[in-house]
Amino acid sequence: MQRTAETSLEKLARDAEFIAHSPVLKLYLQDPQAANKARAEDALLTLSALRKDYEQTRYIDQDGREQIRVDRAHTNGESSLRTQGLQDKSSRPYVQAGLQLAAGKVFISDFDLNVEFNRIEIPYKPVLRTVVPVVLDQRRKGMIVLNSFAGELLAQLQATLPENEGEVVIMSESGGWISGSPDLNWQYLIQPAARLSVQDSELWSGITARRNGQFEHGGECYHFVWFQAANSSIQAAKWLFAEKTKNQSCSASLVSAIESAVRRIALILLVSVPILLLWHRSRLRNEYYKQELEDKQAALSTIAKEAGHALIMVDSRCQVQWMNAEAQRLLGWSEADLIGKSLHDSVHLTPEGTPVHPGQCATLQSLATGEPQSKEHDRMLSRSGELLHLSTRVTPFGGADRRQAIVSLVDIASHVALEESLTIQAEIDELTQTLNRRAILQHLQAALSNSAPASCILALDIDFFKSVNDKYGHLVGDEILIHFCRTIETMLRKNDLLGRIGGEEFIIVAHTGSMADAMGLAERVRTVVANTPYARGADPSIAMTVSIGVAQPRPDETVKELLARADEALYRAKDSGRNRVVSAD
């Protein structure tokens, strides 16, 4: 019986841990959007369908509330997702135990009766509850709770005895009857006095003082042993297992020595044969559970492969173990291409060995430290050599000597393009496509703050532009402004900048510390503008001229002061007849 119970508890622990560490559940907890929750629900439904002896498969959050629950119907055995009536289980003892459970530990409750909405279900539904904490990024995120049909284990324990040779008795550590006393089974959960420890406290004291032995109760003999899980990672209740010999006392004074000897020999045979049978059955069960676990892993792998996010699993050396269909589509690599190859070397390095991403590789960091890593903006190379913009999240699992990790990738190319577009829009004048006022002044401030030789500025104003607008209209005026800018840009050097201050006023930041060079550039601009009228097709061209004020920065001069001197020179150019260049000095 002990071996059967030990094997059953180990199986319960393995199943619960398998679900608690599943990539699909962790993906939902990292990003709790509806699509990810639906995938986690599908995973629990699949596992429930594979395991026929679980009445409930649940994910309960850190506040003790059911978030995902799969029920198995008693009538037809079908699994179904419960979306309504999810309950607050924070007051239940098994949830309280789960909230205190350390990572890597498993809690298995005492035999219990299922409770719904704070009432014991009738007819009785004996259950065992297995609880495993869910840990993400070293933070507790709730627990996985499996309700298994306790009747399955009771039947297995009864099967360890030869037919018609006794009855299995199971009692709780507090002396409550679980099996073996039809009138009192489970009554201790309703009436605390219905316990052997209460009805015969002296007898119970003798039982609890020994690890095993026999006792007599109600004229029948019980051969008992105390059982507790041997696996140190499993926190389970302590139970008394006994074999009750019906209608026979422990002290048979009329039994002769020969009969006693024969009984002992028979007992040896009766014990040894079941042990061999139990060993054989245990081997078969272990093979069965092993196959079941492999089947569930295959099912979970199928779910992961069909997930909406790109998922890649790597081993401790960052070598790819598997990747789902979305990862293959996103990177352009087939799973066969990358299996056994370093993910870092394949997607983070150019053929010359140059990294394509800023900073350290998140996957290598996670494998080295055992800590989850994420990069909101990562870069990778596709198989074709295209540079991809991705968001990366790496979740490690396993011990330091055999650590692995799940790498989740999301394509953010559209976000990057949008950011670049917004950046350009924030700096560019919409009409002329030159720098706007804010941007050109920022560049000027940067030039003045630079330790290199300061830049001279040219303040430009189109002569008589108002009369052009009045005569030809604002649409033609806008076209002339655009023509004016395109004409000037042909005269600028590589580092010179042109910006629109407002209306027909512009600034050129000329990257030269020489006033003579700046004056020469201004004169060339003035000449080209005067000699390049705006062509209007069949209509007469519109000539234009420009007045320019030039200023060279003085030590410790502010942008405002420099602009004021340039504007003053510009006004002098206009006052002296327009279409000319005037120095602020």
Which of 146-160, 231-245, 284-298 has maximum average pLDDT?
231-245
The region that residue 118 occupies, defined by phi over 0 for left and psi between -120 and 50 for alpha, beta otherwise, is left
Does 355 share its domain with 382? yes
* CATH code where residue 79 lies: 3.30.450.20
Asked if pLDDT for residue 473 goes beyond 50, the answer is yes
In total, how many domains does the chain have? Answer: 4
- For 506-563, the pLDDT digits (tens) are 999 998 878 999 999 999 999 999 999 999 877 889 999 999 999 999 988 899 999 9
Does 434 share its domain with 571? yes
More confident residue, 281 or 179: 179
Does 66 share its domain with 214? no
Does 38 share its domain with 176? no
The reply to whether 230 falls in a domain is yes
Asked whether the beta carbons of 393 and 137 are under 8 A apart, the reply is: no
> What pLDDT was estimated at residue 355?
86
Does 143 share its domain with 185? no
Does 135 share its domain with 223? no
- For 19-48, the pLDDT digits (tens) are 888 888 988 999 889 888 998 898 888 888
Does 9 share its domain with 130? yes
Partners of 66 in beta bridges: 60
Least confident piece of the model among 116-120, 128-132, 334-338: 116-120
Asked whether the beta carbons of 449 and 555 are under 8 A apart, the reply is: no
- For 44-85, the pLDDT digits (tens) are 888 888 877 888 899 999 999 999 999 887 677 788 899 898
Asked if pLDDT for residue 295 goes beyond 70, the answer is no
Asked whether the beta carbons of 86 and 67 are under 8 A apart, the reply is: yes
The reply to whether 80 falls in a domain is yes
Picking from 235, 263, 297, the residue at the C-terminal end of a domain is: 297
* Angstrom distance (rounded) from CA 455 to CA 174: 90
The reply to whether 70 falls in a domain is yes
Mean pLDDT on 451-456? 69
Mean pLDDT on 383-398? 89
The reply to whether 266 falls in a domain is no
Does 555 share its domain with 494? yes
pLDDT range class, residue 426, cuts 50, 70, 90: confident
Does 167 share its domain with 27? no
The reply to whether 278 falls in a domain is no
The reply to whether 561 falls in a domain is yes
The reply to whether 260 falls in a domain is no
Picking from 416, 448, 483, the residue at the C-terminal end of a domain is: 416
Does 434 share its domain with 573? yes
> What pLDDT was estimated at residue 420?
62
DSSP state of 138: T
Percent of the chain residues topping a pLDDT of 90: 39
DSSP state of 360: S
pLDDT range class, residue 256, cuts 50, 70, 90: very low
Picking from 274, 297, 320, the residue at the C-terminal end of a domain is: 297
- The pTM assigned to this predicted structure is 0.45
Asked whether the beta carbons of 34 and 27 are under 8 A apart, the reply is: no
> What pLDDT was estimated at residue 569?
95
Does 95 share its domain with 128? yes
pLDDT range class, residue 262, cuts 50, 70, 90: low
**504 given a catalytic annotation:** yes
> What pLDDT was estimated at residue 439?
92
Residue-range definition of the domain harbouring residue 202: 161-251
The reply to whether 270 falls in a domain is no
From the list 504, 523, 561, 568, the catalytic residue is 504
* Dihedral over alpha carbons 46, 49, 52, 54 (to 10 degrees): 50
Asked if pLDDT for residue 463 goes beyond 90, the answer is yes
Both tokens assigned to 235 = 């926190």
- For 143-157, the pLDDT digits (tens) are 999 988 877 777 777
Closest alpha carbon to 149 in 81, 72, 64, 216: 72
Does 234 share its domain with 287? no
